[in-house]
Amino acid sequence: MARMLNRGTGGHGLGGLLANWGATERETALSAKYGVRIGPPPDRPNGHFSHSMLDRIDRVLADLPPEHLRGNPELTAIQPAAPGGDSAASVYDGTERAITMVNPFGMPSWLYTELNRSSGLQRWLMDKGALSDYEGISRAGDQALGLCHQTRQVMGGTSSVLAHGNLVKWTIRHEVGHSVDQRVGWQAQLKQQARFGGWQTYGPDGDFPLKQVATAILGKAGLGSQLEVKDRWRMPLLESVTAALNPRVARDVPERLADLIADFADQTDEFREHLDQVIRFVQLALVQPWTLNDGGGDALAIDGRVYHVDHFGQWVSYLRQERTDHALSNYQFSTPAEWFAEAYAAFYDPKPGPCARLNPQVRAWFESELPASLRPEVAAGTQQDASRQHEEN
């Protein structure tokens, strides 16, 4: 998360080196304590964590179940970003199986580790940094879609229950959650269950074909009975709209979407008015509507599901009622991976409020089903199932 510009990790110059004296030995000790490498990789001996950062890491990891750390094959390291690197976010990399911590805006570590999500001003700055990295968001675009009076938020929003406490501590919990998700195969096997938001993904890398989204949108627009009507290229309406829904095409060649009406110029005015509703639906779905406190509201809701294109460029949908009743933050309902990481951060938050906001069935899963799934023999089977489903997709 924390999609903010990076300029380094610790202090600079002689003063920074002296202040960080002993950090190397402390990283070694914490690595042994938790069974996860903490500190820079062996091929990059410089750029160690500051003591203030190590304080936060130690405090968070001490409160997490040991089996989520030691012996977790999907979490091998918590490391600082390379000095001068161009990383845009603190992130869990599922390929490297490592969490890379990024200092936002090039601020010194002592300042970064003091940032607090409960401060309205600080949270506004965090959101501003995050929003700048999401594709499709612009003031002009929001005005064109009638969104200029709506506030976009990431950390809080429909609920601010997680918008409290130290930013670094939340980041560590959140990113560890990604590794646990990968270990138990939650996205592959459980995300579609109603208690987990009822997530569905669409397209070549999704669980369902993109044509399913097109069918739903056309039905909402009143064109569900006219899917075989041909455009000027003799392409059926369903096929034409499905092609226009491709996020890369819609963003890189916006005229492909806008020209849908012209492609059906021989149809009635009523038909083309309904088709305009399809265009506006897609235009809104492309501009990260999950950052709006209503997630896009009635405009993007179809039969109890909300559809949008996530910040990875994939069509997704979730159960609207789950967001209304149990959302922890706007960010949680951006994409399935972030749903789980935010739920994990909430369940293991030292304050009771975030956990209480979770669906009771989700709390029960964390309390009993997750520990059971982490038993060695169960975890091994789960990983095999997850790998098999990934290959099939």
DSSP assignments along 98-125, one per residue: EEEE--BTT--HHHHTT-BTT-HHHHHH
Encoding tokens for residue 329? 């933050």
Nearest CA to 199 among 327, 318, 108? 318
The tens digit of pLDDT for each residue in 118-154 reads 999 899 988 888 888 899 998 888 888 888 888 999 9
The domain limits of the chain are 189-392
C-alpha span between 36 and 77 (Å, rounded): 5
C-alpha span between 158 and 327 (Å, rounded): 7
User: In the chain, how many H helices and how many E strands?
Assistant: 20, 8
Segment 315-344 mean pLDDT? 98
Segment 107-127 mean pLDDT? 90
pLDDT at 310 > cutoff 90:
yes
Tokens 């599901």 appear where?
Answer: 305
pTM: 0.89
Please state whether beta strands 98-101 and 91-93 pair in parallel, antiparallel, or not at all (unpaired).
Answer: antiparallel
- Long-range (24+ apart) CB contacts under 8 A made by 236-240 are 237/264, 238/211, 238/214
The tens digit of pLDDT for each residue in 17-53 reads 456 788 999 999 999 999 999 999 998 877 899 999 9
Residue 124 has a CB neighbour count (10 Å cut-off) of 14
Q: Report which of residues 34 and 380 the model is more confident about.
A: 34
